[in-house]
Every structure is written in C-alpha cells, then in structure tokens.
Structure 1
Amino acid sequence: MKVQVYHSIVEPITTYGAECWQLTSKIENQLKAAEMDFLRRSSRVSKLDYIRNDMIRERVYKIPLWI
C-alpha cells in the first residue's frame, strides 16, 4: 500500500517541475536517493542495518504468491 501511495502521490509531487528541468546526473541521483529513502523508511530499515538497496527493492516490490 505504501508503494502505491509513493507512486501515486509522492513521485508526481517530486517531479512536478521536471518538464522545465535540465536533467543532469546530479539531479537524477538525488531523485534516486529520495526514492530509496522512502523505500527504506516504509520498510523500517535503517542505513545502519547495512542492507543493500537491491534487497530492499526485492522486499518492497515483491509480488504476493496468492495473486
């Protein structure tokens, strides 16, 4: 549910003015960092836990087996 909220509300707000931005690698990295910060917070994982970003993405975007 939190991922759906992120994609429907948070992501459009952060990229609202993206049409007039010149997308540089610095801005792209900042957007990716903001996404990972949200995913870490929503899965209740601290950076001090030393869990890789790939593992967090697998946890968050996992498709339930019963669907």
Structure 2
Amino acid sequence: MLQKDGDIDEDVRHRISAGWLKWHQASGVLCDRRVPQKLKGKFYRTTIRPVMLYGGECWPTKRQHVHQLSVAKMRMLQWFCGHTKRDRVRNKVIRDTVGMAPIEEKLTQHRLRWFGHIQRRPPEALVCSGVLKRIDNLGRVS
C-alpha cells in the first residue's frame, strides 16, 4: 500500500495498529505474571511480530519507519515484562530477558529472504528480478 507520493507512512501505522490489536487480544496471556518471560517472548515472536512486519519485505523504509516499529515493539515488551518508562530499564536488558532481536534485524532478514525467493524464480516467471511484469489479454508478457 503506497501513498500518492510513494511513501509508506500509512501502511506502517496500519501494521503497528494491527500489532496492537493482536496484543490486546492476547493480553490475558502476555500480562499474566505466572507465565514465564521466555514463553511470552516466543508467543510475541509467533503472533504479534509477524502481524507488525507483514508486507515489510518490499517496504522502502526510512529510519523514521524503523523507529516507529521499534518503539511499538519495545512498549509491548516493557508492558509484558512489568516495567514502565519510570523504571528506566534499558531496551537491551528487556530484549535479553525475553530473548528478542531488534526489529531492524528482523526487517532486514525478511527483506533478504524475499530477495532470495525472487532471485530463485525462473526467468519466465511474472515476478523476476524484483520487477513486476504485466500480461496483456493475448497472454504476452510486456
């Protein structure tokens, strides 16, 4: 989803809000103090992070977009660890507690995995070398 000016601000905001929606749906598990931190981290990695990064393989990201995603992620992690900003616990400590990598690394991994998938496609595929080709009504590729 691109805007008229070719930016992705709206899509990043939508992905963050979708991540928060999933967060609220799973808050019973994530905010339960009896559930171990590592299990909460695994749950976050399998349910919430994919929602936030969906479609991010082909985003032309700017530093601002990565920062927005990172802030949303760290607020979620702080919340289910039971910390607030007032506790002044470093992000790295929280990420290590739940076994989480920075969002920038995950975004890069998704992008490289998608690029490898495109590179392995046969030359006659519709999507080849990252360029989308259009087929006319007669079945010819243009």
Compute the TM-score of the two structures, normalised by the length of structure 1. Answer: 0.76
Would you say how many aligned residue pairs link Structure 1 and Structure 2?
Answer: 61
1:32 corresponding residue in structure 2: 70
Q: Is the 8 A contact 2:77 2:94 kept in 1?
A: yes
Structure 2 gaps of 5+ residues are: 1-38, 100-142
Root-mean-square deviation (CA, aligned residues, Å) is 1.4
Q: Which structure shows the higher helix fraction?
A: 1
**Contact preservation (8 Å) 2:78, 2:94:** yes
Greater RCO, CA 8 A, separation 6+: 1
Deviation at 1:18, TM superposition (A): 1.3
- 1:1-67 mapped onto 2 (5 Å cutoff): 1-61=39-99
* Structure-2 separation of matches of 1:12 and 1:24: 19
In structure 1, stretches of 5+ residues that fail to align are: 62-67
1:2 CA drift (Å): 1.1
Identity %: 33
